[in-house]
Structure 1
Amino acid sequence: MKVTFAKPAIPDKGALVIGVREDNTLGSTGTELDELTGGQLGRALKAERFKGEAGKSLVVNAPHGVTLDRVILIGLGKLDAITAGTLESFGGTAVGRLGALGDETAALDPDLPEDAPVSAVEAAARVAMGATLGGFRFDRYRTREKPEEKPALRKVTILTDDQAEAKKAFAPMQAVAEGVDLTRSLVSEPANVIYPESFCERVKDLADLGVTVEVLDEAKMRKLGMGALLGVAQGSARPPRLLVMEYKGAKDKDAAPIAFIGKGVTFDSGGISIKPSAGMEDMKWDMGGAGVVAGLMKALAGRKADANVVGLCGLVENMPSGTAQRPGDVVTTMSGQTVEVINTDAEGRLVLADVLWYAQDRFKPSRIIDLATLTGAIIISLGGEHAGLFSNADDLAEAITEAGTQMDEKVWRLPLGEAYDKMIRSDIADMKNAGNREAGSITAAQFLQRFLKSKDTPWAHLDIAGVTWSKKDKATVPKGATGFGVRLLDRVVADLIEGDGGKAGKGKTAKDKGGKSGKTKKK
């Protein structure tokens, strides 16, 4: 779907989507159209239970007095409550409605007054962003879909007085949207298509954006001593891979990078501790963390972020076989620490343990953020509304929380502490990979924290098990793979790294912090 910008005007054909404020207040475009149609819009608004509430919509087909196929009215709510998010939802809702109606072209106009809380240029860019995100569709395996069942929309034009500035404002947003698109596509693919080797192939073209892509095979990882990651992979016919993506966009190319680490279990059967069969097909997206890291690297490089960033993905398949890891096995991690494998279905933390250590050993990052569809416990705790956040650094946790609020990718901070750490003590090794049923998400985070080389390194862990896949449509997030985390972490880089001139300083560290939503108070 192509997105363009043009001056406000009533188009001759296709559909026109305009914003309506609370109490059915029309803007200049809506008022002009109402006059051209002999008051048809006003009559339609009065006849329907539509009050301009945010997100609500009303379709007027073949309006009299114009040659348009239809007009779609979308509520924006109160004028003083309109935000960038409101306008993105407007764009996404518009594309969703248009996709169901069969229009090939459409013009979108939020139709805001000059005193709106969002500038006209940003409003146009945000509408374009929402339309782009809402227009994602993963349909490459649908071979018998009838033409009338497919969205026909090919071109969306955002109406604005300053097309050049709007296009300029949209450019970095579009790069981020392309990153989200990559993540959604990777996570949507079935496990017979995306596995460790093919995942790496899919991201090789990031080199065109200035990202250095390197792939470590099994032999190299064995030489490095990555016994935990390799232990997970040993039951599969698919060989593991460690994907390393490096982007140096800061003025100081030698400045320590921020590191993003993603769990990439391309299919998780649970191994010998096999999962129940019901719903196991969902485990194709257990590589969601790796998918986010790949999409984030595309977003940052695409918008030419002023930051040094490294993205690492531990890619394995967790399968039961005669060579599979057994409960009770002991593995030695790259750090030298040993782990008793209590449950082979607690495999993601084993993968991340070695990748975390490797990232610190090689890149000496200023900050580390890992993402993983790590525990079912986080879904029980937070559902699909928030990702779980764990961190040893208040400043970093605060930045992630604030970015999540801005991007509508919300996180909730949970605690860490010695009492939880005791739950993963092993009788025969340095630790075990799973505690009991209590505090499952927290003990997983405690496990990962043991693989920080220095307690002074700001680190955050995002458990995205509940937010990686959606079973219902939202305005800018169609049903399926959400891409949650790309926009959130792009914002974190903008605020923490680019916001301070690309100098990634140390964050304040703290013990036993958590249980707070919103900003964390600094000590």
Structure 2
Amino acid sequence: MTSKLKLTFSNDAPEGDCVTICLISTDSVIIPKLDKDVAAQLIAKMASAQFTGKKGTSLSLYLDVGVYLLIGVGEMIKAGIHAETVGGNLFTALAATPHKQGWIPALKLADEVAADIIFGVELAAYHFEQYFTETDSAEASVQLTVSNEFITEDDRDLADRQALANGVALARDLVFEPANKLYPEAFADRCASLSDLGLDVEILGEADMEALGMGALLGVGQGSRRESRMVVMNWRGGKDEAPLALVGKGVTFDTGGISLKPAKGMEDMKWDMGGAAAVTGAMAAIAGRKVKRNVVGVIGLVENMPDGNAQRPGDVVTAMSGKTIEVINTDAEGRLVLADALHYTETRFEPAMMVNLATLTGAIIVSLGKEYGGLFSNSDELAAQLTQAGMATEEKLWRLPMGKAYDKMLKSHIADMKNIGGPYGGSITAACFLERFVSKTPWAHLDIAGKAWSDKATATVPKGGTGFGVRLLNRLVDNWTTAHITANDG
């Protein structure tokens, strides 16, 4: 990861070419403590520039005593998304100044609000430039100095947000990486390095998975010269309790296999491991934040290629659960990976709940566009908790139905099921397929095909890899309650 931010803490403004940052609300209240004469000058210049403090606006003012950067915040800042967006807008405005060096003086804000503002700054400062041999001077780092009266460097809320930002950045990095650099073994190696955070990381090779009977996952990867992997990341932060389980699809490149995708846009299929990236980033954040719960992350890593040994349409594979699957379309491969990953996770760890994430279907983008991730679940309560977590983190989900009528579309005449259900309801039949590999555990499937990669930037999310799911999962884990959580009620 490359961040365009250099963040320091000091009671004194840095010397040299530095702008003082003022957060201005729509009632024209200047939030920082300023000299009366300076405040009067700023108010007069704001009036002449018709700067009202509208959210998302900014204004640079040059006074005899220095340069001031005004950031419009709208209504008085609230913790959460509002404060994070203010931080993102602050970074963007500061980066656009010729100085690129700012100072946040003392502000009368709660520590949680201040931490969220800095969190937003850090999210906005993310920049992936691993493969540039030259960098544009216009992309120079932004230096931000924060007064210890705004928030102290060792503040607990700030440390929590910084660990979360690191997890988001890791997920974004993984999604941005090209497939010749990030293949299953390389992805697994990156996960292994997370043991430094206190995660217990276990890597299963093809021989291990073959011994366990994971014919569905292994079938997807058999056409690639890159060996498949499964990674287990275990965080034991709780007491004697069943873990919460996070499961991710990690197809490091998806050609479609023998059911080859069109050439146009195929380069985007490097991010077909967005679900695994989200789980990995979430586990890194959970460990970095030292969450007091038991959480296990499991990701299946494969590359779907069309060589002479590749899986064919019409093949029948046997999943770890013992169920047989007729492969009608080799481009419906992610659900085969998750079939074994879900069964393995449930039978080995007996979790209190399971949530899987996957860039599973293009049909979910047809249904929801790129505004929401698709949510499918066998538990109303789990679905409700996920929906609430999504709203709180701006990683929004929309629940779609399942049921017997859709499930019947998976019927095969030679095996227990087909891997696709026909031309209609593709996201739903994919979810029904996954549900067949879950027993009694409360479970949810998040189809994030429209959310793992973005064609445009927002205040805190870059164009490209979004890291979608990291914050959502962390909020779910933080707020998790087992009250009335049951399976097979949705």
Q: Could you say which TM-score interval applies, normalised by the shorter chain? A: over 0.9
> How far off its partner does 1:91 sit?
1.1
Q: Is the 8 A contact 1:102 1:152 kept in 2?
A: no
Deviations 1:389-415 (A, max 9, x none): 111111111111111111111111111
| 1:93-492 equivalent positions in 2, closer than 5 A | 93-108=89-104, 111=107, 119-146=109-136, 148-153=137-142, 155-159=143-147, 161=149, 163-164=151-152, 167-252=155-240, 255-454=241-440, 457-492=441-476
In the TM superposition, 1:49-128 aligns within 5 A as 50-60=51-61, 63-67=62-66, 70-79=67-76, 82-108=78-104, 111=107, 119-128=109-118
Q: 3-state DSSP class of the match of 2:223?
A: coil
* Residue 281 of structure 1, CA deviation: 0.8
TM-superposition CA deviations, 1:190-216 (whole Å, max 9, x none): 000000000011122211111111111
Q: Which amino acid in the other structure matches residue 382 of structure 1? A: L
Q: CA deviation at 1:88?
A: 1.0
C-alpha distance in 1 between matches for 2:93 and 2:463: 14
Q: Secondary structure in 1 aligned to 2:164?
A: helix
Deviations 1:9-43 (A, max 9, x none): 797641222211114332343x53x833872x334
Aligned residue pair count: 486
Structure 1: runs of 5+ lacking an equivalent: 113-118, 514-523
Match 1:24 to one of 24, 28, 35 = 28
Q: Identify if the C-alpha distance between structure 1 residues 237 and 44 changes in structure 2 by more than 3 Å, giving closer, same or farther.
A: farther
Q: What is the aligned-residue identity percentage?
A: 50
For structure 2, which runs of at least 5 residues remain unmatched after alignment? none
> Is this contact kept in 2: 1:37–1:66, CA < 8 A?
no
Write out per-residue CA displacement over residues 152-180 of structure 1, whole angstroms, 9 at most, x where no aligned residue. Answer: 21x32334636448722211111111111
Q: 1:269 to 1:393 in 2, by over 3 A?
A: same
**Cross-structure match for 1:516:** none
Q: Check conservation: 2:106, 2:148, Cα contact below 8 A.
A: no
| Cα distance in structure 2, aligned partners of 1:287 and 1:470 | 15
Moved more, 164-173 or 485-494: 164-173
> In 2, distance between residues paired with 1:18 and 1:90?
11
Question: Quick one: distance in 2 between partners of 1:108 and 1:411?
Answer: 35
Tell me, yes or no, if the aligned pair for 1:273 and 1:343 is still in contact at 8 Å: yes
2: CA distance, partners of 1:304 / 1:132: 20
- Cα gap change, 1:102 to 1:223, in 2 (>3 Å): farther
On the 8 A contact 1:383/1:466 being kept in 2, the answer is yes
Amino acid at match of 2:454: S
Q: 1:345 is paired with a residue of what secondary structure?
A: coil
Q: How big is the shift at 1:291? A: 0.5
**TM-score if structure 2 supplies the norm length?**
0.94
- Report if aligned partners of 1:20, 1:27 keep a CA contact under 8 Å in 2: yes
> Does the 8 A contact of 2:379 with 2:487 survive in 1?
yes
Give deviations 1:471-521, integer Å, cap 9, x for gaps. 11111112111111111110110001xxx5xxx56613354x4xxxxxxxx
The 8 Å contact of residues 13 and 103 in structure 2, kept in 1 or not, is answered as no
TM-score by length of 1: 0.88
Provide the secondary structure at the position in 2 that maps to 1:312: strand
Q: CA deviation at 1:71?
A: 2.5
Q: What is the distance in 2 between the residues matched to 1:37 and 1:139? A: 40
Alpha-carbon distance between aligned partners in 2 of 1:444 and 1:49, rounded to the nearest angstrom: 53
- RMSD in angstroms over aligned alpha carbons? 2.1
Q: Is the 8 A contact 2:79 2:116 kept in 1?
A: no
After superposition, the C-alpha distances for 1:374-400 in whole angstroms (9 at most, x for unaligned) are: 000111111111111111111111111
